Amino acid sequence: MKLDSEARYAESHEWARWDGEEVVCGISDHAQDSLSDVVYVELPEVGDVLDQGDIFGVVESVKAASDVYMPLSGEIVAVNEILEDTPELVNQDPYGEGWMVRIVPSDPAEFDDLLSAGAYEALVAEEEG
């Protein structure tokens, strides 16, 4: 499992990473690996304002469909439109080209409540038992 040491993680397997005044978000390498081949990604509209834990999208794979949750509260300022035509980028590069949304957080302190890479790794190990 790959981790991004700059990112923080939600227990629901999304990641968030500061980029200037914005936070870039997507699903973790563990999540994309569990889903297997991603064939469709549904993302929110720019301008949507969502709370931490709200569903912001759906990822469909050959195995299952899974909701994607906001790791932080905030306004969607960009969506990765490339994923419409190439959803497999979520599998190939979940922390890079496979990012999903950029947000301006309404409560930046929520970032500090997310799991560090090490804590997320421990959570995944515990889940896999």
- What does the pLDDT look like over 14-73, one tens digit per residue? 999 999 999 999 999 999 999 999 999 999 999 999 999 999 999 999 989 999 999 999
CA distance 87 to 43: 11
Q: Cα angle vertex 122, ends 116, 127, to 5°?
A: 125
Q: Read off the pTM.
A: 0.96
Q: How many CA atoms lie within 13 A of 85 on its CB side?
A: 2
Q: Hey, is 7 helix, strand or coil? A: coil
pLDDT score recorded for residue 129: 83
The residue assigned the tokens 């990822």 is 59
Question: 8-105, what's its fold?
Answer: OB fold (Dihydrolipoamide Acetyltransferase, E2P) (2.40.50)
Burial (Cβ within 10 Å: 0-12, 13-18, ≥19) of residue 110? buried
